[in-house]
Amino acid sequence: MSAEPKPSPARDKFHERMHSSHMYGLWELASQMTPNPQPKAIAYMWPWSELEPIIKASGEMVPVGEERRALQLFNPGLGGRWATTNNLIAAVQLLLPGEVARAHRHTPTAIRLIIEGSGAYTAVDGERVYMEPGDLILTPSWSWHDHGNETDKPIIWMDGLDIPLIASLDAMFFQFYSQAQVPTTRPANASKQLHGHTHLTPTWVKEKPRASPLLLYSWQQTREALDTLRAQEGSPHDGICLEYQHPQTGGPVMPTMSCKVQMLRPGERTRAHRHTGSAVYHIVQGEGETIIDGQRFSWNKGSIIAQPSWAVHEHANTSTKEDAVLFSINDTPVLESLGLYYEEEFTEGGGRQQVTSTFSSHP
């Protein structure tokens, strides 16, 4: 390190002149070239015991108007920025019996993970996709979507979107549809009928959209897959962890966001690792804990956890009887596509000894 130059009135004056011309010296900014990622977002948990009463009260306090009744989870480290992690937003949305959330479209990509209730729908480009707990439903970038609840029970889901990323790319577009709902032009769950057959893909469909053309990943299929794989060793970091796939390409479901589901078997504790890219977890079932950069978050069904990029994390199912299942969204497809996915593993026992280091694009 070279010594700081001695302060001098002439030098101060020079800096003032430079700043007033909207210029800064690299010597003033060097601390921002950090040796590793240093996210402003913090690891944070919204326990279901805190989310549930507020989302339920929102049903009495706020109508579904022009906008959705969706509680946006603001990361406390981001100073009021509309973001749950640097690139992702998670929200919890309530739609009461008889309500419609009017049709709109936007360039940010969205996913829904159904938490509670059954039989409401999201209509995506004229196709009603019906919701059951644990289902994953996609609304790709720029697809028209409205939500309707024709049942007699409320429905609650988690939304996950890449809003902060799209905003920082200055690529935000938003439109309302001319009517409250887009006319239905396809049978209910048509995308599942067409694309929802594992390893069997319709040959007559020629378009291969960037986002998955399969809009519904049913909990029934997900649960069956997890059960079938129960005896496998799984990932040392994530247990029986499955990535939802684009059925035609095998890649992530969206160009900017990947979705995963992971089962931790009774008593299972994973090994710590860290990687570039942030994630938001939603606990589908069970009880356990996630330790992020040394901070312990004890979770149960419904809780939502924000995990910043490069944070060391490990998960545990603290029950000796029940499975734990975590659903998560992440922004790693962006990192991967730019050659910026980097991962480090740690040895067992919290000793935090780095054991491997890989740059996906620099083998």
The CB-side HSE value for 253 (13 A sphere, CA atoms) comes to 28
Is 14 or 174 the residue whose CB approaches ligand 1HN more closely? 174
Residue 312 interacts with ligand 1HN (CB under 6 A): yes or no? no
- Exposed, middle or buried, 9 (CB in 10 Å: 0-12/13-18/19+)? exposed
Count of residues near ligand 1HN by CB under 6 A: 12
Residues 52-71 that bind ligand 1HN (CB under 6 A): 68, 70
**Are 89 and 117 a contacting pair, CB within 8 Å?**
no
Stated length of the chain:
363
In angstroms, the CA 244 to CA 330 distance is 12
Amino acid type, 110? A
DSSP symbols for 105-127:
EESS-EEEEEEE--S-EEEETTE
Amino acid type, 73? L
Q: Which stretch binds ligand 1HN (CB under 6 A): 10-18, 158-166, 230-238, 247-255?
A: 158-166
Residue 123 interacts with ligand 1HN (CB under 6 A): yes or no? no
Residue 95 interacts with ligand 1HN (CB under 6 A): yes or no? no
In angstroms, the CA 29 to CA 37 distance is 16
**Are 124 and 143 a contacting pair, CB within 8 Å?**
yes
Residue 93 interacts with ligand 1HN (CB under 6 A): yes or no? yes
Q: Which stretch binds ligand 1HN (CB under 6 A): 37-45, 156-164, 219-227, 301-309?
A: 156-164
Distance of closest approach, residue 58 Cβ to ligand 1HN, in angstroms = 13
Is 127 or 159 the residue whose CB approaches ligand 1HN more closely? 159
Distance of closest approach, residue 301 Cβ to ligand 1HN, in angstroms = 21
Only one residue has tokens 């906008």, namely 67
Q: Which stretch binds ligand 1HN (CB under 6 A): 12-20, 49-57, 155-163, 185-193?
A: 155-163
Is 163 or 324 the residue whose CB approaches ligand 1HN more closely? 163
Q: Which helix (H) or strand (E) holds 358?
A: strand 354-359
Query: Judged by CB under 6 A, which of 161, 264, 284, 291 binds ligand 1HN?
Result: 161
CB-based closest residue to ligand 1HN: 159
**Are 304 and 46 a contacting pair, CB within 8 Å?**
yes
In angstroms, the CA 246 to CA 12 distance is 57
Query: Judged by CB under 6 A, which of 102, 145, 192, 237 binds ligand 1HN?
Result: 145
Residue 159 interacts with ligand 1HN (CB under 6 A): yes or no? yes
Q: What is the number of other CB atoms lying within 10 angstroms of the CB of residue 163?
A: 23
In angstroms, the CA 349 to CA 41 distance is 26
Question: What are the tokens at 218?
Answer: 């049913």
Is 89 or 311 the residue whose CB approaches ligand 1HN more closely? 89
Query: Judged by CB under 6 A, which of 41, 88, 163, 264 binds ligand 1HN?
Result: 163
Residue 246 interacts with ligand 1HN (CB under 6 A): yes or no? no
Is 161 or 214 the residue whose CB approaches ligand 1HN more closely? 161
Residue 89 interacts with ligand 1HN (CB under 6 A): yes or no? yes
In angstroms, the CA 260 to CA 237 distance is 13
Residue 91 interacts with ligand 1HN (CB under 6 A): yes or no? yes
Tell me which residues touch ligand 1HN (CB under 6 A). Answer: 68, 70, 89, 91, 93, 101, 110, 145, 147, 159, 161, 163
